[in-house]
A = this chain, B = another copy of it.
Amino acid sequence: MSSDVEGRTATLSDVARRAGVSIATASKALNGREDVAAATRRRVEAAATELAFVPNPMARGLLAGRTGTVGLLTSDLEGRFMLPILMGAEDAFGAGQVNVFLCDARGDAIREQHHLKALLSRRVDGIIVVGRQTDPRPSLGQELPVPVVYAYAPSDDPRDLSLTPDNEAGGRMAIEHLLACGRTRIAHISGDPAYAAAQDRLAGAQAALADAGLELVGDPMFSEWSEHWGRDAAALLLDRHPEIDGIFCGSDQLARGVLDTARDLGRRVPDDLAVVGYDNWEVLSTGSRPELTSVDANLQQLGRLAAQRVFDAIDGVDTGSGVSHVPVRLVIRGSTIARR
């Protein structure tokens, strides 16, 4: 910032004047076009460096139509799922000289439209739409002038490209791990049954049990995604089905509640009762006693992938469409396998 011309930040014409050439030549030289003499190019480049010249992206964008920016349109920044996705996306874009506009719709469709307009008017090159649940959300439509990728919450229109965690695989994985730990009398506690996430995880769990010739003990316990419900549901379940030796929970909060109740009832975890959570929300999963085995949705990876897809689409690569399920992984801790 030190070598500005008269306090302004340097412009291309400043560079041209200093190098003793025309604006057009300076432009060509700096943009690496061929039809410019090597010596001239060096002079221009030197001048640009001395003036700390940085092309004005607005002037450039006005012509080119490409801005090197993308929009991140989140439905609601609150909630723990946004952040890792945001990080992944920002990371992937940042590495590619692209800057990210962050827009938070606060769960409001009107505001979302407003932000969408703002992003388009700024001529972003692409948009990632991040939802806070894995339930399908309304598509932004097919008429947009830039590629759009939906992350976490898939679009309800199959012509769109969506990336969402593979909750069914997560459910399978949790059960298969419990089975591998020798548990056969397994129950399931989850949150709001209206969530696709709750249903998908349950479906995966039931499929895995069926493969082993087993069934859930008791009915799946649905209510809300809270620690309180985890405590209450566990008390009810263990009272009615004392034989239970494993519980798969639809979230880490629920699992924390289950651990609490298990302790109250004198059930040792993992010896008497193995517990698996979901989300791998570290503050919960590593703060508990014992620490919590949990399914991790690889959200940061999901964010990076979404960014990659947007990149590809911008470059004209066909990225396909439909809902793509991103693999999840199981993080094993003391609530299923005792530490020595």
Contacts and interface: CB of A to CB of B under 8 A. Distances in A.
A143 to B, nearest CB: 5
A316 interface: no
A317 interface: no
Contacts of A58: 57-59, 61-62, 67, 122-123
Contacts of A87: 77-78, 104
Contact of A227 (B69, B103, B121, B287): B287
A54 B121 contact: yes
14 contacts: A9-B121, A54-B121, A55-B121, A57-B122, A69-B101, A72-B102, A77-B86, A80-B283, A83-B83, A94-B103, A94-B111, A100-B102, A228-B287, A260-B289
Contacts of A117: 54
Nearest to A2: B143
B83 A78 contact: yes
A30 interface: no
Interface in A81-122: 82-83, 86-87, 90-91, 94, 97, 99-104, 106, 111, 115, 117-122
A336 interface: no
A56 interface: yes
A288 interface: yes
A62 B100 CA distance: 20
Top 3 A-B pairs ranked by shortest CB distance? Answer: A227-B287, A54-B121, A102-B102
A181 interface: no
A255 to B, nearest CB: 11
Contacts of A143: 1-2
A226 interface: yes
A69 B123 CA distance: 13
Contacts of A260: 289
